[in-house]
Amino acid sequence: MAKSKQAFAERLFDWFTRSDDDPTHIPDPTLLLATGSADDTAALGEQGAPVSTKAPSKRYEIIKLLGKGAYGVVSLARDLRIGRMLAIKQLNARFRRGSSIYKHFVQEARIAGQLDNPNIVTIYDVEAGEVPCILMEHLSGGNLGTLIRLDAPMNELEALRLLRGIMNGLRAAHRHGVVHRDIKPSNIIFDQNGTPKVTDFGVAIFLKEDDTSATKNLFVGTPDYMAPEQMEPEKYSVDARADLYACGLMLYEMLTGERLHRFGPIKTAEQLEKILAGLSLPSDSEFPEEVTEDTRDLVRLLIRKDPDQRPADAQAAIDAIDEVIASHVGMDDLKDTGGEEPTILREMFEDILRLFLGDGVISAAERRELTIRSKRLGIEMDEALELEEKVRNELQLPSLRHLQEYAWRVESVLSDRKFTEEDHKLLDELAWAYNISESERTKIQDNVMVKFQMKEGVVEDLIP
C-alpha cells in the first residue's frame, strides 16, 4: 500500500503507537521495543484479531473509532459525567499481562500520568480491566511531522518558539527523572491553539530507579533521531541529554525541511560502527541562507556527538534558546512587556485581530502568529480567545464556538471519506445558521480534507 493511500485511521493509530517514520511498517520489536518476546512478535503478525471498542465503563460514550493497528485501537469518546471529549487508547487483548508490549503500555500511562505540564499530553486515568486502556487528552492540531511537511523550511523565530515549548515539556519530565528516548516530530502533537505537547513515553526510563529497568541498557528509539550514546547503550549511560540531541535534529529539520540523518534499519554492528564514525555537524551551507548564525550554532550545540559538550540539561537549553530569540526580536520580550498597561496591551492585540480578520478568515499560519503575539504581549490564551470573540462580534463574524462546532461536524461527516448529498445539505444548513461565509467554509473543509488526506498530493503522509 502506498503511503498516500493508507487509511487515515491507520495513520492516526501510528501516531499513538511504537513505529518508525514509515507508517506502512510494523515496528521491529528488537529495535524499537527491544524487549519483544517470541509471543509478542507472533502476535504482531496476526491479522484480523478482534479488537474491542467498548467503553471502559458507563461513564464514557464512544463517539467514533479514530484508528486501529497492530497494538489496539484509539477512539474518540465523551465523558458523560463532565461532558469532556477525550481519546481512549485500548490495548489489544492478545497482549496479555506480563508481555513486553503490555509493560510498555502500562509504563506510558505511569510516566505521563505523573507529569503535569502544558507541553506534555495529559493522561486522565488508566483502566486495568479486561481490556486495558489509557484515557488521555484529545488533541486535534496534528503533529510536528505534518507541520514540517506542509510549512518547512519554517520561519526561524517560529521554529525556535516551538522548540522552546518542547523543551519546557522535557524540562518537567527530566526534573522527575524521566528520559523520553524517542523524541521525534511524530511524537510532538498540537492542541487547537498550536501549543506543542510531548507524547508517547512508551520507551522512557526513570533514571532515579535502579538498573533493573527492562530497557535501560537496550537499543531503543528511532535511529534517525537517536543520540550516539543511545546507539551504544552497553558502553555509555543514557541521560536527559539524549533528548536534547533529538531536539537539535528536529530544529534542523524545521529550518531546512530535511532530516539530517536517514539511517534506515540498523541490523549489524559494522553498520552501526560506520554510522557513528560518519556523524558530523552540519555546515553553514546546509542551512537556508536566511537562518542566522546564532541559530545555526544552537543546532550544532544541541547535536554534539559528546553529550558533555551539549547543554547540561533542558533548562540550560532553554536559556540558550531564549538568548537566540531575544537577539531576533531585539528585546527580551520573554521577561516583560516594557511596562505597558494591561489595557493598552489588550487594545494592541485587538488591533492585530482586526487586521487578521479583515477578510473574515484566519489561516493556520495566521493562527500560529496570533498565538506568538499574544504571548509576547503577556496575554493568556483564555483572554486572547475572549478578545477574539469580542472582535468577531464587533465585525459581525461567526463566533469561535460556532466555527469549532462546524469544523467538528465536517470532520464527522467526512470521517468515512465519503461526502453524500445529505452531508452537503446538513453542512449548508449549519453554515447558514451560524453565518459562516463561503471562504471560511472552504478553509475549514480544506483543512479537514488535508487532515484526512483526501486531496491527493497535498501531503505525502499525514501521520509519520
What are the catalytic residues? 182
Distance set, CA 393 to CA 92, 340, 435 (Å): 48, 26, 12
Place of cell 519546557: 168
Phi, psi of 2 (to 5 degrees): -70, 150
Provide the sign of the torsion angle of the four alpha carbons 265, 266, 270, 273, taken in this order: positive
Phi, psi of 227 (to 5 degrees): -70, 155
Contacts for 462 with CB less than 8 Å, ≥ 6 apart: 8, 11, 142, 146, 450, 451, 452, 453
Distance between CA atoms of residues 166 and 185, nearest Å:
11
Q: Give the contacts of 275 (CB within 8 A, at least 6 positions apart).
A: 231, 263, 266
Q: Where in 109-253 does DSSP place strands (E)?
A: 123-127, 133-137, 178-179, 188-190, 196-198, 205-206
State the Cα–Cα distance between residues 79 and 90, nearest whole angstrom: 16
Question: Whose CA is closest to 451, among 188, 131, 143, 186?
Answer: 143
* Residue 103, CB-side half-sphere exposure with 13 Å CA sphere: 15
| Torsion sign across C-alpha atoms 323, 327, 331, 337 | negative
CA proximity to 172, closest of 362, 311, 339, 318:
318
DSSP strand E in 7-84: where?
60-68, 72-79
457: left (phi over 0), alpha (psi -120 to 50) or beta: left
Buried b (16+ CB within 10 A) or exposed e, 273-296: eebeeeeeebeeeebeeebeebbb
Determine the Cα–Cα distance for residues 11 and 16; give it in Å rounded to an integer. Answer: 9
Q: d(Cα 137, Cα 122) in Å, to the nearest integer?
A: 5
